[in-house]
Amino acid sequence: QVQLVESGGGLVQAGGSLRLSCAASGRTFSSYTMGWFRQAPGKEREFVTTISWSGGNTYYADSVKGRFTITRDNAKNTVYLQMSSLEPEDTGVYYCAAGRTVLSTNPNHYDYWGQGTQVTVSS
């Protein structure tokens, strides 16, 4: 029973930064593992990063390690994705997801999804 709404996407030049936010409804947000996925045209959803219930454990796709940071603020029912040193290949629709499987990279392990926010990185 989670509703997720992403925001913060937009157009940014290569090398720039964006911070995405995912606002969740419900009172059990803190009990979910949260993740970010992205999808480029013609491709399936791709794992980006995930964070545990407490925020103490994170995992990143190799493609974004050192550039992206996931955080969560359970008091605000919000998870964030800070993206730096953006590259054109980072372009896609970014989806926030919630699930019960800890630090999963598999989108099938996430039960709730937002509608996505578009991130476009120009060169």
Per-residue pLDDT reduced to its tens digit, 16-33: 999 999 999 876 777 889
What is residue 27's predicted lDDT score, i.e. its pLDDT?
65
Cα–Cα distance for residue pair 52/39, rounded to 1 Å: 22
Residue 95: HSE in the Cβ half-sphere, 13 Å Cα cutoff: 18
What is residue 117's predicted lDDT score, i.e. its pLDDT?
98
| CB-based burial label for 8 (10 Å; 0-12, 13-18, 19+) | middle
DSSP at 40: -
What is residue 116's predicted lDDT score, i.e. its pLDDT?
97
Q: How many other CB atoms are found less than 10 A from the CB of residue 43?
A: 9
What is residue 37's predicted lDDT score, i.e. its pLDDT?
98
Low-confidence residues of the chain, pLDDT below 70? Answer: 27
What is residue 82's predicted lDDT score, i.e. its pLDDT?
98
